[in-house]
Chain A
């Protein structure tokens, strides 16, 4: 048995210690919010926190998480209170298909935890490991910026529309 702490909860796993954490979370603990995207740490869909640091769960053996705090997307909110980054994702209507967004949010929350006032280039660098095939990078960037700036996010949908009746 391998004993881990996942989202502040002790869990025991009967798996090969080399099994990537991604599959233990998804298949053994039914925490399916963490996603499989590439299996080789190239896309970021499986990003979780190990002691607060972002890691790619698809290449992180279960054994390496022993004695550390594992946090997944399911552990980010406190009860019904969303993490400010999650709320900003709603306020800025960030997701399209949404598949990569757990990983995006975990990367963003880790960035803001270690660097609460990131420069725009810091955001771009920290998020470059997370692919979004729906291409929502502008919105992700705006949402992180809003949380960092501490302002209440204001959704400003689209820009002015030119309406012609004809």
Chain B
């Protein structure tokens, strides 16, 4: 039985062993073409989350989100358990396997209810051991800080509430009482004014035959028992004793090891290679061309990697052999200038008549900012293990998009998708990088080429030089202030528009706004990087508003605050950050504070950074973070994400630069693409505001505001305005940073 609700599609069924199965699907506003094949027939729906209560009263949730350290799985289980009124100890979690069936109710119903052959993981649930949840989309992507705000709110909570109501209804029928006389608590149905009480499992089968309420009542926050509490993460114990199985730890019998080298210049192809010396080396199995890259397969990674250095490869010439970062930044400026002159840029926001105000103003404040390409450098280098059995391919890897990766492998190998099995592993960092299937495809091709199972591990050098990069962006602002110093007109022109669309928008009250962008393509591959476009635009907009404050002779905090009278939620976050950071208490000589405010992925974050600049050395002393995610399901998990986002953003602001020289990436490893380390890491204090507005994300919103808060602090301390990142481009005194 299934019904669409305002929020979701809810469906129920009974599994073998008398287990209750509840599936919840997201209602998709726009039918994505990627999803269309999965819902081709009338009555088919996309299912987002599976929840099952087994005969042993164990609750298992299967959701599509991959664990890359963000604690998503624990938080989602909390949301389910609370709405269901299960015992927290009885709830376990399983990541949805990369099977279309898990995304499609009609397919899954066939597996789960009609006694057809079932996939191995679902089989466990059919046997009554597990409770399942899964996902709606062919793209099972973990990203966009979506776990809580989409799957959690519209999947897990609804599934939990629906299952709870069904169980109560079934119990009421069995006991011949009104459902109003019953409640649920700690995994049991309880008669409110009576003696009777029984575990959920007793009513699971009966509940599975009922038609779900199309709009189950979600709990009021006052009723939350598990949400809002910091629950120890389920995945941590295995991460302190070395037993967590990351993709790089996967192993099969007869496995060989490989490493690979792609053309240094993006877009080049391989002309020829001489592998005679490499093939003669100890342990080398083969040297193979995979598309335009060359891979060495050997009996150990070390043998593969030292033989790789002995392969002479001739790469083709390309139109980009002399491309450079400086050339691209010049190109951005020239293309923007051309679009301005010709009025040929693309309009992003037009409000009032900024052009006219600026054209007729006595004083226009113009500033330009730019940021470089960035790599992700996940701690776990890219890797995948692949094996062929006849025409079938098995791949073991950690990916942010298991189902998409499986389809990409099938397409690349030109085999049917049913012949590809993907075993998802924990990820040693993702940050957007592991949304790409490139390494898994290479591994699959290698395994087929050599006829043996192959674990492909990229060197760190390959990782840095063949990432999908956060794009370099230039942004040019023009503003006019009114007599009181408030912005009357705001123009922002930039290059490279991606997602989210609102990244360049500001919350401040500016009556005339003109935001527009220019396409200025480069040959450097694009990838989503933590917070995507917010990472650049947070720096640009929060730097420029800071500059306007100083132009107006105002305090940067007070100036922002004045411009937020229409947004009390924003103002509350900003105020709390200023208060927590003792904004009004002056710091000593050479010290300064900077502030920023960012709204991204549905969450508001204000940050205050304190720095000391002494003898040319920059010390980032303290970071105060105030975050309003609507509601913090796991306060400690949210706090950890803020700390993480801050350090990730500080790394980029302080050191992060992928530069292009002669068409290729100049950096190669942590010695020249450094990361913030403990010795320079600030004290980070996180304060949470639960405004009870829409629930937002956690993984990304901590990152975009940190660079401008830092550079605004440097300006406050020393009067050096940083308009280009990383800050190593500036002399902050005698010594480098």
* Residues of chain B with a CB closer than 8 A to A96's CB: 69-71, 640, 644
User: Once the chains bind, are B242 and A74 in contact (CB under 8 Å)?
Assistant: yes
Contact with A along B289-325 (1 / 0, CB 8 A): 0000000000011110100000000000000000000
Residues of B within 8 A of A95 (CB): 69, 235-236, 239-240
- A residues in contact with B251, CB < 8 Å: 30, 32
Cα distance A162–B690 in the bound complex, in angstroms: 6
Which residues of A have CB within 8 Å of B233? 93
B675 part of interface (Cβ distance < 8 Å): yes
A9 vs chain B, min Cβ distance (A): 15
Across-interface contacts of A160 in B (CB, < 8 A) = 687
**Number of contact residues on B: which range applies?**
35 or more
A8 within 8 A of B: no
B688 near A93 (CB under 8 angstroms)? Answer: no
Say if the beta carbon of B92 comes within 8 Å of chain A: no
Question: Within the complex, which residue of A99, A123, A161 is in contact with B428, where a contact is CB–CB below 8 Å?
Answer: A99
Taking CB atoms, residues of chain A closer than 8 Å to B640 are 93, 96, 136, 139
Query: Is residue B632 contacting chain A, with contact meaning CB distance below 8 A?
Result: yes
Measured CB to CB, the nearest residue on chain B to A45 is: B379
A100 and B379 contact, CB distance less than 8 A:
yes
**Given A37-B460, A38-B669, A164-B691, A97 contacting B230 (CB threshold 8 A):** no
* Pairwise interchain contact B230-A133, C-beta atoms closer than 8 A: no
B670 contacts A by Cβ under 8 Å: yes
How many Å from the CB of B434 to the closest CB on chain A?
Answer: 10
A33 within 8 A of partner (CB): yes
Pick from A31, A72, A161: contact of B689, CB under 8 Å: A161
A105 proximal to B (CB < 8 A): yes
Q: Does B479 contact A (CB under 8 A)?
A: no
Q: How far is the CA of A123 from the CA of B679 in the complex (A)?
A: 8
- 0 or 1 for each of A121-155: is its CB under 8 Å from B? (1 = yes): 00111011111111111111100000000000001
Most buried by A among B379, B677, B691: B379
Q: Which residues of B contact A26 (CB under 8 A)?
A: 249
Contact bitstring B660-691, A, C-beta under 8 A = 1, else 0: 00000000011100011111010111111111
List B residues at the A interface (Cβ < 8 Å): 68-71, 221, 228, 230, 232-233, 235-246, 248-249, 251, 257, 282, 300-303, 305, 377-381, 426-431, 457, 459-460, 576, 632, 635-636, 638-640, 643-648, 651, 669-671, 675-679, 681, 683-693
- Are B302 and A23 touching (Cβ within 8 A)? yes
User: Separation in Å of the A76 CB from the closest CB of chain B?
Assistant: 7
Please report the total number of A residues contacting B with Cβ < 8 Å.
71
Q: How far, in angstroms, from A26 to B243 measured CA to CA in the complex? A: 12
- With both beta carbons as reference points, the residue of chain A lying nearest to B455 in the complex is identified as A27
Residues in chain B near residue A131, CB distance under 8 A:
379, 670, 675, 677
- Docked pose: A83 CA to B71 CA in angstroms: 24
Could you tell me the distance in whole angstroms from the C-beta of A118 to the nearest C-beta in chain B?
12
Whether the pair A33, B242 counts as a contact (CB closer than 8 A) is: yes
Query: Contacts of B427 on A, CB cut-off 8 Å?
Result: 97
Are A127 and B239 CB-contacts (below 8 A) given A133-B377, A133-B429, A135-B646? no
Q: Is the CB of B639 within 8 A of A158?
A: yes
Pairs A-B, 9 closest by C-beta atoms: A33-B242, A135-B647, A99-B428, A97-B69, A157-B230, A98-B239, A96-B69, A158-B635, A157-B636
Chain B nearest CB from A8 CB (Å) reads: 16
The reply on A15 being an interface residue by CB < 8 A is yes
Report Cα–Cα, A15/B244, bound state, in Å. 26
Are B636 and A93 in contact (CB-based, < 8 A)? yes
Q: What CA separation (Å) do A34 and B244 show in the bound complex?
A: 11
Given contacts A90-B240, A97-B430, A162-B576, 15 further A-B contacts (CB under 8 A): A35-B379, A95-B240, A100-B379, A124-B678, A135-B647, A135-B648, A136-B643, A137-B676, A139-B643, A158-B638, A162-B690, A163-B692, A165-B692, A166-B691, A166-B693
Residues of B within 8 A of A32 (CB): 242, 245, 248-249, 251
Q: Are B249 and A158 in contact, with the CB atoms below 8 A? A: no
- Cross-chain contact B379 with A133 (CB below 8 angstroms): yes
A138, B460: Cβ atoms under 8 Å? no
With A158-B638, A158-B639: A36-B676 Cβ-Cβ less than 8 Å:
no
Contacts of A99 in B (CB 8 A): 246, 378-380, 428-429
Q: How far is the CA of A162 from the CA of B691 in the complex (A)?
A: 8
Contact B248 A36 (CB under 8 A): yes
Decide if A157 touches B635 in the complex (CB within 8 Å). Answer: yes
18 contacts between A and B (CB under 8 A): A35-B246, A36-B248, A42-B670, A74-B241, A89-B239, A94-B236, A95-B240, A97-B428, A98-B69, A101-B239, A131-B379, A131-B677, A132-B647, A135-B646, A157-B636, A159-B639, A161-B228, A161-B689
Which residues on A sit within 8 Å (CB–CB) of B237?
90
Residue from A35, A89, A100 with most neighbouring chain B CB atoms (10 Å): A35
- A43 to nearest B CB, angstroms? 5
Residues of A within 8 A of B648 (CB): 133-135
Of B228, B240, B305, B675, most A-chain CB atoms within 10 Å: B240
Bound Cα distance from A30 to B430, whole angstroms: 25
Let me know if B241 and A82 touch, CB within 8 A.
yes
> A158 touches which one: B230, B238, B576, B678 (CB < 8 A)?
B230
B contact residues around A33 at 8 Å (CB): 241-243
CA distance A149 to B644 in the complex (A): 26
Min CB–CB distance B152 → chain A (angstroms): 18
Do B683 and A138 touch across chains, with their CB atoms under 8 A apart?
yes
Cβ contacts under 8 Å, B679 to chain A: 124-125, 127-128
The chain A residue sitting closest to B67, CB to CB, is A97
Measured CB to CB, the closest approach of chain A to B675, in angstroms, equals: 5
Q: Is the CB of A23 within 8 A of B670?
A: no
Name which residue of chain B comes closest to A144, CB basis.
B678
Residue of A with least CB distance to B248: A36
Distance A45 CA – B233 CA, assembled complex (angstroms) = 22
**Is B380 a contact partner of A97 (Cβ separation < 8 A)?**
yes
Contact between A82 and B246 (Cβ–Cβ < 8 Å)? no
List, in ascending order, chain A residues with CB within 8 A of B71's CB.
96
Known contacts A42-B671, A133-B675, A162-B576; is A97 also within 8 Å of B643 by CB?
A: no
